[in-house]
Chain A
Amino acid sequence: MRKLPLTPSQTIGPFLHMGLVWSDGPDVVPDGTPSAVWLRGTVFDGAGEPVGDGLVETWQADPDGGFGHHQRFRSFGRSATDDAGEWAVRTLKPGAVESADGTTQAPHVNLSVFARGLLDRVVTRIYFADEVDANTVDPVLSAVPEHRRGTLVAPAIGDGYRLDIHLQGEAETVFFDV
Chain B
Amino acid sequence: MARPGTAHAARQPTAYERPNGVHPPLASPAYRSSTLRAPTEPLVLLPHRLTELTGPVLGAERVMPGDNDLTRQDGGEAVGQRIIVRGRVLDSDGRAVPNTLIEIWQANAGGRYRHAVDRWPSPLDPNFTGVGRAMTDQKGHYSFTTIKPGAYPWKNHDNAWRPAHIHFSLFGRAFTQRLVTQMYFPDDPLFAHDPIFNSVPEAARARLVSRFDIETTRPEWALCFVFDLVLRGATGVPFEQADDET
Q: Are B181 and A8 in contact (CB under 8 A)?
A: yes
Residue ID in chain B nearest A57 by CB atoms: B178
Q: Are B1 and A64 in contact (CB under 8 A)?
A: yes
Q: Are A47 and B28 in contact (CB under 8 A)?
A: no
How far does the alpha carbon of A123 sit from the alpha carbon of B58 in the complex, in Å? 20
How far does the alpha carbon of A123 sit from the alpha carbon of B51 in the complex, in Å? 12
Question: Residue B191 at the A interface, CB < 8 A?
Answer: no
How far does the alpha carbon of A43 sit from the alpha carbon of B172 in the complex, in Å? 26
Q: Are B41 and A175 in contact (CB under 8 A)?
A: yes
Q: How far is the CB of A131 from chain B (nearest CB, A)?
A: 15
Interface size on A, residues (CB 8 A): 76
> Which residues B86-102 have CB closer than 8 A to chain A?
90-94
Interface size on B, residues (CB 8 A): 80
Q: Are A5 and B36 in contact (CB under 8 A)?
A: no
Q: Are A70 and B2 in contact (CB under 8 A)?
A: yes
B164-196 to A contact mask, C-beta < 8 Å, 1/0: 000101000001101111100000000000001
Taking A1-B93, A18-B131, A19-B103 as contacts, is the C-beta distance between A8 and B204 under 8 angstroms? yes
Question: Residue A36 at the B interface, CB < 8 A?
Answer: no
Q: Are B207 and A118 in contact (CB under 8 A)?
A: no
Q: Are B180 and A10 in contact (CB under 8 A)?
A: yes
Partner pick for A15 among B23, B35, B113, B229, CB 8 A cutoff: B113
Q: How far is the CB of A122 from chain B (nearest CB, A)?
A: 6
B95-134 to A contact mask, C-beta < 8 Å, 1/0: 0000000011100000001110110000000000111000
Q: How far is the CB of B9 from chain A (nearest CB, A)?
A: 8
Taking A59-B175, A119-B28, A177-B44 as contacts, is the C-beta distance between A7 and B181 under 8 angstroms? yes
Question: Residue B75 at the A interface, CB < 8 A?
Answer: no
Residues in B lying within 8 Å of A, measured CB to CB: 1-5, 14, 17-19, 22-26, 28, 31, 33-41, 43-52, 54-58, 62, 90-94, 103-105, 113-115, 117-118, 129-131, 167, 169, 175-176, 178-182, 196-197, 199-201, 204-205, 207-208, 229-233
